Amino acid sequence: MAFSFLPELLVISILMLLVFASLYIKCTRSTNSLSPPLDWPIVGILPALVVNVHRIHDYMATVLTSTGNSFMAPVASIMRFFVTCDPANVQHIFTSNHANYPKGEDFAQIFDVTSGSLFTADGESSRRLRARHQSVLSSPRLLASMAKCCRDKLEKGLVPFMARVATTGAPVDMNDLVTRLVFDLYATAVLGVDPCRLSLLDMPPLQVADAMDTVMEVGFVRHIVPPFCWKLMRLLMVGPERRLAAAQGVLRRFTMEMVERRRKTAGSNIGPRLEATTASSSIDDDVLSNYVNDPEYYENGDHLLQATLILYMIAGRDTIGTTLPWVFYNLAKNPHVVSGIRKELEPIASGKAAAFLASSCIFEPEELKALVYLQAAILESLRLYPPIPIERKTVVSSDVMPSGHEVRAGDIVLVSIYSMGRMEDLWGPDCREYRPERWLSEDGGKLRHVPSHKFMAFNSGPRMCIGKDIAISQMKTIVAAVVWNFDVEALDRQEAVEPKLSCLLQMKQGLKLKVQKRQM
């Protein structure tokens, strides 16, 4: 029994030999080839994925362009992937025939730390959980608390810190800064605690935030390798699976500690505290208070409650925290867009009288609601750099796509949202350029409507992102504060900005920018 995994090890050895052969062939070919990946015996296109994994999203966009926006990709002979960025296929998968394309059991296993939550649920369970989430996120009290927290973090944290950095002339890593800011926002909104990570920039990274990153990085590995490979690694507790097990332990312990503290303070108006922190909301103003006493969530060892809290943290922090660095990256490279945003903000800022002349100006969400160019700048970043670059579905029954491709029961469908933003027939010949104007009506006064099956940054169909409006509002508030108060520019020596190997499109080496206080 102790050596029952030897057959799998033999298969892995053969697979590695084929990968090395593929590497050799790749090196002898032109790197500009637009041909589809080679379909090897046994391992399918896995060698091509390994060779191009460092640029997987651009590689997938190239292949999809050469194959008419869809192709069938066998992997390791036991798996068949249908890869597409065709809007007609997307509408079929996510809306017209969505019941035939659930996330599936494999997806639930890949993200087992959130198993049972809305993130991994399908069918009736998904509809029931979604209704509960919608009820929580529509609470006026919670929304007001989140807006206040965002404003406080900008006024007392982000803006003063950037002002101090500006006086030193030292570059700032906007990726790290934004990640800390958004982690604080969502720890407060979800758990009622403020880790004050934004204020502790000289301290080591918070273990919980690192654990969340690990879940997404190892989840990426689980997506692209055959299940028996990562399950074998999990059994042996080696490689990325060892890191993931440690990360899951961190997240479960953290959420359980928050739950236990909340239960001990039940009936008190003072929320739980982390050491050396100050919570900015009462226990009635956060997500946890809506679930902590619900028997459906705390029975069975609190598993569902933990999974739900982890989901809220990931959904909030990772979506906004991943998007904003790309927004600032694009703004740093396009000063004319910054000028356009400031022109739109000027009437609001001038109406603030003293604030207009003060050292800094913070905008309220309601003040920014009607600003279309600011929102267009954010949507354009989401088009080019969607926080979740790939969506995965499982085929229940054999079907024919609008593109004519046949899929079989058990096939895996991958929708490349990253590639969709680079489709010339959808966005025009300048589809790879950052141009917010493409989102505006001809007179520039309104946002142009783009159906969700053509712009998938917030998903589509019955699984449309519940927190879309919250996310856009918070991003507009943060971007407006930075753009109005500071000039940011990319460093000449800044290395090429590349995404991590993760289920999220996070920046690999951060984003170093030069910050200067804006002269009004």
Query: Residues within the annotated binding site?
Result: 465
SS (H, E, C) 179-246: HHHHHHHHHHHHHCCCCCHHHCCCCCCCHHHHHHHHHHHHHHHHHHCCHHHHHHHHHHCCCHHHHHHH
Structure tokens at 202: 């000289």
First-to-last alpha carbon distance for the chain, in angstroms, is 74
How far from chain centre, in Å, is Cα 91? 21
Contacting residues for 430 by C-beta, under 8 A, at least 6 apart: none
CA atoms within a 13 Å half-sphere pointing along the CA-CB vector of 298: 14
Pairing between strand 390-394 and 399-400?
Answer: unpaired
Residues of each annotated binding site for heme = 465
CA distances (Å), origin 219, targets 83, 135, 317, 330, 503: 18, 29, 17, 28, 6
Neighbours of 244 (CB within 10 A): 24
Structure tokens at 158: 């982000």
**258, 313 in Cβ contact below 8 A?**
no
| 412 beta partners | 81, 394
* 352 burial via Cβ count (<10 Å: 0-12, 13-18, 19+): middle
- In the chain, the amino acid numbered 160 is P
CA distances (Å), origin 174, targets 208, 360, 397, 446: 20, 19, 46, 30
**What's the CA gap between 175 and 455, in Å, rounded?**
24
**What's the CA gap between 513 and 328, in Å, rounded?**
9
**What's the CA gap between 135 and 85, in Å, rounded?**
32
- In the chain, the amino acid numbered 325 is P
Token pair 């989401």 is found at: 382
Ramachandran category for residue 391: left, alpha or beta (phi over 0 → left; psi -120 to 50 → alpha) = beta
